Amino acid sequence: MRISVDAFGGDHSPEAAVEGAVAAAKEWPDVTITLVGDEARIRGLLSEASAPSNVHVRHAPEVIAPDEEPVRAVRRKKDSSMVAAAAMVREGEADAFISAGNTGALMASGLLVVGRLSGIERPALAPMIPTMDGTGVLALDLGANMDATAEQLTQYAVMGSIYRRNVHGIDEPRVGLLNVGTEPGKGNELTKAAYPLLEQAPIRFVGNVEARDVLNGVCDVLVCDGFVGNVLLKALEGTASAVFSALKTEFTRNTITKLAAAVLRPGLRSFRDKLDYKEHGAAPMLGLSGLVMKCHGSSDARAIKNAVRQTRLAIAKDVVGTIAAELGKGEK
């Protein structure tokens, strides 16, 4: 398995990318990782990390900044770490690539460099949202496209269902449409138009799902446009952060609460890990002709290592090939 990593994408690059890649390469020797970016800086970090032989470097001197206009940056910066890593997938030099960089630029790289699958109008970012029962829900789109049509939401639903069935082993994934109410007639024009299309799609559609029920595991795949999905994701992240911050304040208030914290610590740590994006590592951009994985912008070394773990599984399950084959059946 060959994975290219955008070493200069994300808030903690290149240190996090290098450290995480080295840790992953040591744990999974069947994976060859190519770190893409400024070669001198990467090799300087590798020399300190005792990198194994399955870690390589590809020089790419440019970097796409978080505030750059995505399409323009991808077209103008051919020698950027992100575009060069994507090009390795296009040229067959890598089976997948990982980046914690600019989401818009990653989307543009996917479309302009890697390319779309036949029959897919817009790829979707599909991270796992943790649920209280531990199974999680695959949600898409959570930020690749701010707007979507009803037809595109239906494509998201089909791709998400295929992914959960083949990667996670769920025979009949339940697909829900994120909405403001559970009744079929609820929502805006987009969700009202999408509902009947989802009913007719080759999926197990369970209807509308309200945001308050998402964490209760009422569906296995959650469909929404990228604007609403990203708001949901950021709200969940902010809530989790606020809750744990408040708990820390309360549990350090006095001796009694500190003793209580010591007793509850294992359970609280397990609960925190369920909600921690670093444990999930990376999310696939479904709908592209190559495997592209997006990490959280503030990913640390642990998150990058877990991103390699997720990518390794996706490669083994042939996610892209499976989706392409399933979509091809539907077109016949």
172-204 tens-digit pLDDT: 999 999 999 999 888 999 999 999 999 999 999
pLDDT at residue 2 above 90?
yes
Cβ 261 vs Cβ 267: under 8 Å: no
pLDDT at 199: 94
Q: What percent of the chain has pLDDT over 70?
A: 94
What angle is formed at CA 189 by the lines to CA 186 and CA 194, rounded to 5 degrees? 80
Across residues 297-317, what is the average pLDDT? 91
Supply the DSSP string of 150-180, one letter for each residue: HHHHHHHHHHHHHHHHHHS--SS-EEEEEES
Q: Taking the mean position of all CA atoms in its chain, how far away is CA 33?
A: 19
Helix 255-275 with 226-251: angle, nearest 10 deg = 160
pLDDT at residue 330 above 60?
no
pLDDT at 277: 52
pLDDT at 168: 85
pLDDT at residue 237 above 50?
yes
Residue 39 token pair: 């070669």
- Other Cβ atoms less than 10 A from the Cβ of 330: the count is 11
User: Longest Cα pair distance anywhere in the chain, in angstroms?
Assistant: 69
Across residues 303-325, what is the average pLDDT? 91
Residue 329 token pair: 């059946």
Q: What is the CA radius of gyration of the chain?
A: 20
Supply the DSSP string of 235-303, one letter for each residue: HHHHHHHHHHHHHHHHHTSSHHHHHHHHHHHHHHHHHHHHH-HHHH-EEEEETBSSEEEEE-TT--HHH
Cα 247 from Cα 213, distance rounded (Å): 23
- Eight-state DSSP code of residue 68: S
pLDDT at 332: 44
pLDDT tens profile 144-166: 888 899 999 999 999 999 999 98
Which residues are within 8 A (CB) of 196 and not within 5 positions of it... i.e. 6 or more apart? none
pLDDT at residue 278 above 70?
no
pLDDT at residue 265 above 90?
no
Q: Which of 101-105, 227-231, 277-281 has the lowest mean pLDDT?
A: 277-281
Cβ 202 vs Cβ 122: under 8 Å: no
Cα 293 from Cα 126, distance rounded (Å): 9
Q: Bigger pLDDT: 292 or 260?
A: 292
pLDDT at residue 276 above 60?
no
pLDDT at 27: 94
233 pLDDT tier (thresholds 50, 70, 90)? confident
The mean of the pLDDT values for the chain is 89
pLDDT at 329: 67
Residue 244 token pair: 């744990």
Q: Name all domains of the chain by residue range, CATH numbers in brackets.
A: 1-120+287-332 (3.40.718.10), 122-247 (3.40.718.10)
Supply the DSSP string of 115-152, one letter for each residue: -BPTT-SS-EE-PEEP-TTS--EEEE-SSS-S---HHH
Q: Bigger pLDDT: 237 or 112?
A: 112
pLDDT at 92: 94
Q: Of 25, 36, 142, nearest to 86 (Cα)?
A: 36
Cβ 208 vs Cβ 183: under 8 Å: yes
Q: Of 131, 191, 190, nearest to 164 (Cα)?
A: 131
Q: What percent of the chain has pLDDT over 90?
A: 60
pLDDT at 88: 96
Cα 75 from Cα 58, distance rounded (Å): 19
Across residues 89-100, what is the average pLDDT? 95
